Amino acid sequence: MPLHRAQTAIRLATTIAGLCLAAAASANTDPLSDLLSVPGSAGLGFVTRVERSPYLGGGTRYDLLPLYLYEGDRLFLHASRAGVKLFKDDAQRVDLFLDRRFEGYPVENVPASLLGMAERSASIDLGLSYRYRQPWGTLQAELLHDVGGASNGNEFRVSYSYDWRSGRLALRSSLTVAARDAKLNDYYYGVLPGEATAARPAYAPGAGVNTSLALYGSYGLTERWRLLGGVSVTMLNHRITDSPIVPKGAQPALFIGAAYDFGSYRKPWAEERSPTYVKLLHGTVSDDACTLVRIITLRCTSTANVNVTTITGVQIGKPFIERLNGWPLDLVGYLGLTYHDEHGLQPNSLQVDAFMKAYYDGFPWSHRVRTRLGLGVGLSLAQRVPYVEVVSQAQRGRTTSRLLNYLDPTIDFSVGDLIGSRVLKDTYLGVGVSHRSGIFGTSNLLGNVNGGSNFIYTYLESIF
């Protein structure tokens, strides 16, 4: 085997073995911050995280983390973190962000050590971070506060990391020290007096400092596909490990996955001449028997007859890539706002959707009547969990979540082509499905929800 091929194989094997992106939530200082380096770029992917549970008898926890990545001049989205860049130059960067805190009790298969205790849930942190980068490494500080109302606690993190690159392989080693206040530790690792038993005395760990070591990275399999993975180990403060519900020893974690980079190899998408997609939609909740697969295969297209709820929305899009690799395939990024009319069943509410959508128009008849088959993938955040999800999940004894995965399959045709009008050539009439789901309960990011909702809608979209 030639030397350069052997070196590449060794690097790839080393990466897979765990030399990349750490997933310890208690020490996360955003290792995805440099995965997409060009403003205007975006990516999609997934990672599978494996970690030792911080709760006694919890065993090994497995978690699917969908990756939704966007790097703008001012805004960014890095999987569980979204924010705004307040300041950025070659050496310094200041971010204001919201981040998902993955700590909390397991939703199902509760270990004996936690039986009878009130649930400790994951939450949302509001954070401010400062990063200082030099050739000798990067220093970063973060201040986080729980704004999700779970613990109302605070955490201050300081980290040092060093980046190393060779060809397609990028590695980052890091050391993180996290100072956590009493509210945060007592909520997740304490035992309230009313929860105490003979084998589980009341306990409050109070404030403490955790330390984490990690190795992160990515490997470019192709120009756009990147392999991700990583290992980390977190040393919990001794006052946490003294808790009757926490095992002794360090907390290791491993994760591996992949991401597809849509736009790091082209100019930013927000150009002056970049077209804008504007879509108006209205739809009705589907019948209970109509799953997404049955709807898109036309085996079930019925809307509900009882407890009918509807949606009305607008989606604004910008193209990332037109004619990908010369194929009849366009990629468009969307931000949508949807209004849920619950028809008196519960208060009405709003929903925000952010997603990347692929359009295929290579049908034999498209030169006469352009027809597009689309599929959008992203995140959906509801102001209030939609009524249909509340009812269906309650019937099955399952949890709900305001944040879920979002799918948007559609099919449409050019109105201008159909009626012979050049003015309406870039106006499309179609039908689609607004789908929210928790990816079968495999993702902590999505609240470990197994279920969701489908709304069948019609729409009109114009490209300006």
Do residues 343 and 213 share a domain?
A: no
Domain count, the chain: 2
DSSP label at residue 36: S
* pLDDT computed for residue 201 by the predictor: 97
Q: Which segment of 35-49, 128-142, 283-297 scores lowest on mean pLDDT?
A: 35-49
Alpha helices in 122-162 (DSSP H): none
pLDDT at 21 over 80: no
Please, is 36 exposed, middle or buried when counting C-beta atoms within 10 Å of its C-beta (0-12, 13-18, 19+)? buried
The whole-number pLDDT of residue 448 equals 87
Q: Is residue 266 part of a domain?
A: no
Q: Which domain holds residue 306?
A: 277-463
Q: What are 204-245's pLDDT values in tens digits? A: 999 999 999 999 888 989 888 889 989 999 999 999 999 999
Same domain, 244 and 297: no
- Between the alpha carbon of residue 163 and those of residues 20, 94, 135, 259, 294, the distances in Å are 11, 19, 9, 20, 47
* Phi/psi of residue 267, nearest 5 degrees: -65, 155
* Sign, CA torsion 50/67/384/289: negative
Q: Measure the CA–CA gap between 21 and 267, rounded to whole angstroms.
A: 27
Q: Does residue 209 contact residue 178 with C-beta atoms inside 8 Å?
A: yes
**Is 69 found in the same domain as 191?**
yes
The whole-number pLDDT of residue 12 equals 38
Residue pair 105/399 in contact (Cβ under 8 Å)? The answer is no
Query: Cα angle vertex 171, ends 170, 174, to 5°?
Result: 150
**Residue 22, in any domain of the structure:** yes
Cα separation, 29 vs 230, in Å, equals 14
Kind and range of the H or E run holding 4: helix 3-16
**Based on the number of CB atoms within 10 Å of its own CB, is 248 exposed (0-12), middle (13-18) or buried (19 or more)?**
exposed
Nearest to 249 by CA among 259, 258, 261, 237: 237
Per DSSP, the three-state class of 344 is coil
CATH code, 61: 2.40.160.40
User: Residues 367-395: pLDDT tens digits?
Assistant: 999 999 999 999 999 999 999 999 999 99
Beta bridge partners of 134: 137
* CA dist., res. 395 & res. 407, Å (int): 24
Q: How far, in Å, CA of 387 to CA of 307, rounded?
A: 9
Residue with tokens 């470990």: 448
Q: What is the CATH number of the domain that holds 333?
A: 2.40.160.20
List Cα–Cα distances, 155 to 86, 209, 460, in angstroms: 21, 9, 47
Mean pLDDT of 95-103: 93
pLDDT above 90 coverage of the chain, percent: 68
Of 253-257, 340-344, 458-462, the poorest mean pLDDT is in 253-257
Please name the helix (run of DSSP H) or strand (run of DSSP E) that holds residue 135, with its range, or none. Answer: none
- 331 and 358 in contact (C-beta within 8 Å)? yes
* In a shared domain, residues 312 and 223: no
In this prediction, residue 224 carries a pLDDT of: 82
Task: Report the mean per-residue pLDDT for the chain.
Answer: 88
Look at residue 310 in the predicted model and tell me its pLDDT. 98
pLDDT of 298 higher than 70: yes
For residues 367 and 256, state if they share a domain. Answer: no
Regarding whether 56 and 113 lie in a shared domain, the answer is: yes
Q: Which of 235, 261, 287 is the last residue of a domain?
A: 261
146 found inside a domain:
yes
Co-location of 291 and 251 in the same domain: no
Is the residue at 72 inside a domain? Answer: yes
Q: Tokens for 170, please give them.
A: 């990028």
pLDDT > 70 in the chain, percent: 89
Domain annotation covers residue 272: no
Per-residue pLDDT averaged across 44-54, rounded? 90
Name the residue with higher pLDDT: 192 or 11: 192
The length of the chain in residues reads 464
Answer whether 0.95 is exceeded by the pTM: no
For 306-320, give one letter per residue: b (16+ CB within 10 A) or e.
Answer: eeebbbebebebbbb
Q: Among 213, 233, 261, where does a domain finish?
A: 261
One domain, residues 157 and 219: yes
Residue 268 lies in a domain: no
Integer distance in angstroms from the first to the last C-alpha of the chain?
A: 54
Query: Across-strand partners of 310?
Result: 284, 341
pLDDT of residue 78: 84
Q: Which of 402, 393, 395, 307 is nearest to 345 (CA)?
A: 307
Q: Of 231, 261, 291, which residue is a domain's last?
A: 261
Verify that 302 and 255 share a domain, yes or no: no
- Locus of tokens 């996360």: 28
246 and 363 in a single domain? The answer is no
Q: pLDDT band at residue 18, thresholds of 50, 70 and 90?
A: very low
**Are 356 and 237 part of one and the same domain?**
no
Q: Has residue 267 been placed in a domain?
A: no
Q: Do residues 312 and 408 both lie within one domain? A: yes
